[in-house]
Structure 1
């Protein structure tokens, strides 16, 4: 969790953290269901306004402009007029960025390989693409242009695109302790932005900081510079970075393929929610000691004499310390019940997950068996026939699809994981 965002301790730590996810770097991601749910403290009253549709159209539009995102989302389920206008406002929100997997786009962005709701993608105006290999040597101009063409095809309304470089190489130094990640964009990152279509405003989000320290993100935007008769494109650093991106809603999970996709995604979601809880635990500790007060404290880890005088020091320490530190976080008393409830929810989710996983593993059979080959044929037939997966495109199927989707290629370790979760649930 070496790239946890700064300032989380300033935000309220309440039941709204349920469901939020964080990647292995500790950066938060908000599932769409959390994005459109009402905050716990502002749940609307159960009232109705039947006369709304009788108001003049201009008054209806004026009212919609004051609605928050959860309300707009619910209005999108009503009459055609209100749905259309609410949808415009909902997707035009300047603070909302929807994130998708850049590796999926790199491989062609085919509906068969992805889990995103394709119809939803077509409405996105602000898109965040998370790429772990921007600086890799295989990215030639042709490959970059192909990725941008795929973006324009899948996201026809995208006006703003943020490339999020999730991994950057460290600059070389004779002494390892002095290694660091450069604070400015690299040439490959600049090339990605230069080749972006001109009708799209492109941004670049990059990590920078010391090798053994907590990293930060900076945001850069492509700008055109006119010098005499020549126009060049450069990247200009922005003053602030957007908040957590929204995870695009999934396409419906149905059939055997849907069950397979659901198992895979809920496994990742549980892991990412566990990481997010660690992030919020650290924020809760800092908020308890430094929000409207100043109470320095020491690290609760055994044999660690670190002392924290200011906000962010504790989170930085936990993000860059040995892996044993996050496991012994002592949550302040005002937050104990909140995190106890959150952990119980996750345990229940994981138990349901392994029950589905166990049932599916039994259906698949042993790797390489005749049962497994028959199961593959059934999955392939469903992929070919169900429009949910092909989306009016020719099915592109390779051996990699099965290899990538199976969470149980190592059958024994999968069975051990299932048994471990079931045993833990019984003991509690």
Structure 2
């Protein structure tokens, strides 16, 4: 019905949705067993497995001992799936498992990795100068990446900051790509303005020493961007990281709902005012839209975004797009139902946070001091929550106390 999305409007799927079967069988008489599969020639077995989508392969990995090895191999080898991580985890946290809520064991098998940057140039801005800092960070990026993703074969460096069209990629991008280990294929993805409406499109770049950077015909809609699956949550830190995971999933949902509502509104309005075009109804924007999809992209790429903040309590806010008045009910009834479910889940999330804060205790109290001691002990002794530095310099500890301890 709608796809979870990032602030940029790009689809990003939580792992549990990515591997969820798309259309479960409704016919109870439909066979669910294939007892003759093992009697087929090996090449035909492989051919049948090759026709399976990612959810089917994942189910076979969990349930079928006969084909588990081949299904696992095919699942991780899919070239249309990129697993995303933030560059801060690789550069600033050195790939330690403690700062992240995803499974670092799963990461060891991933073959395609997308590293997300807000601004790639800013992370390595002195790579073309005599200063050593950027070169050290480039080296750390690649060393950490191959340590955390030892099975990786392809890496996509995705820069979220918009660029003006037709400006060549600077020397810093070349320096980053040149640092890539020879056993990895590295690409860069940029977002570039293409119209006066401040609408962006994504471009994919490959680098070679002879030709420099050249664009490649990779269509964004043909790939899946997926979050790594969750780790096993244990102890107080597990409660905290489960909280972070739920927050991220809810944020992706609300942005997916926003796109779906805007898309429905745009289609209807353009049908009604085809010749005159659609003037953006938000104050301060003289944008006129004539083609389907333009208003949608405009709303993502403007600042401030066309949203309404509905809750700013508990350090967080969830944005719920307010549907345009006059939309046909048949176009939005399913979305309205989804928005009700989203509001319910968001409220449950906030209620659970309040309970966690109560359980943590009031600053200065005995319960509070015990919670702090438990968090420190887990950070120091639990390998799933290991950090590079001491607890005193650990951002996970700092933010746990701020959020659960109302610090």
| 1:140 aligns with one of 129, 134, 142 | 134
Whether the aligned pair in 2 keeps the contact of 1:300 and 1:329 (CA below 8 Å) is: no
User: Does residue 239 of structure 1 match 2:217?
Assistant: yes
User: SS state of the match for residue 114, structure 2?
Assistant: strand
Stretch moving more, 38-47 or 368-377 = 38-47
Cα deviation for residue 369 of structure 1 reads: 5.5
Matches within 5 A, 1:207-286: 207-209=191-193, 213-225=198-210, 234-243=212-221, 244-286=224-266
TM superposition score normalised by structure 1: 0.77
User: SS state of the match for residue 157, structure 1?
Assistant: coil
User: SS state of the match for residue 90, structure 1?
Assistant: helix
In structure 1, runs of 5+ residues without a counterpart are 1-13, 171-179, 226-232, 413-428
Describe the shift of the 1:242–1:92 C-alpha distance in structure 2 as closer, same or farther (beyond 3 A): farther
Stretch moving more, 351-360 or 403-412 = 403-412
Describe the shift of the 1:389–1:302 C-alpha distance in structure 2 as closer, same or farther (beyond 3 A): closer
Cα deviation for residue 322 of structure 1 reads: 5.8
Describe the shift of the 1:202–1:335 C-alpha distance in structure 2 as closer, same or farther (beyond 3 A): same
How many Å separate the matches in 2 of 1:152 and 1:323?
37
Cα deviation for residue 142 of structure 1 reads: 1.4
Describe the shift of the 1:56–1:316 C-alpha distance in structure 2 as closer, same or farther (beyond 3 A): closer
C-alpha distance after superposition, 1:321-357 (max 9, x if no partner) = 7655653435443332111111112112112212220
C-alpha distance after superposition, 1:386-417 (max 9, x if no partner) = 34334xx98854342222345627949xxxxx
Whether the aligned pair in 2 keeps the contact of 1:95 and 1:242 (CA below 8 Å) is: no
Whether the aligned pair in 1 keeps the contact of 2:205 and 2:216 (CA below 8 Å) is: yes
Residue of structure 1 equivalent to 2:34: 49
User: Does residue 403 of structure 1 match 2:398?
Assistant: yes
How many Å separate the matches in 2 of 1:310 and 1:133?
30
How many Å separate the matches in 2 of 1:267 and 1:140?
33
Cα deviation for residue 374 of structure 1 reads: 2.5
User: Does residue 313 of structure 1 match 2:308?
Assistant: no
Residue of structure 1 equivalent to 2:385: 389
How many Å separate the matches in 2 of 1:332 and 1:116?
40
> How much is the aligned-residue C-alpha RMSD, in angstroms?
3.2
Describe the shift of the 1:152–1:380 C-alpha distance in structure 2 as closer, same or farther (beyond 3 A): same
Whether the aligned pair in 2 keeps the contact of 1:183 and 1:209 (CA below 8 Å) is: no
Residue of structure 2 equivalent to 1:92: 77
C-alpha distance after superposition, 1:57-95 (max 9, x if no partner) = 333222111111111110111344411101111111111
User: SS state of the match for residue 96, structure 2?
Assistant: coil
In structure 2, runs of 5+ residues without a counterpart are 127-132, 308-320
Aligned residue pairs: how many? 375
Whether the aligned pair in 2 keeps the contact of 1:253 and 1:261 (CA below 8 Å) is: yes
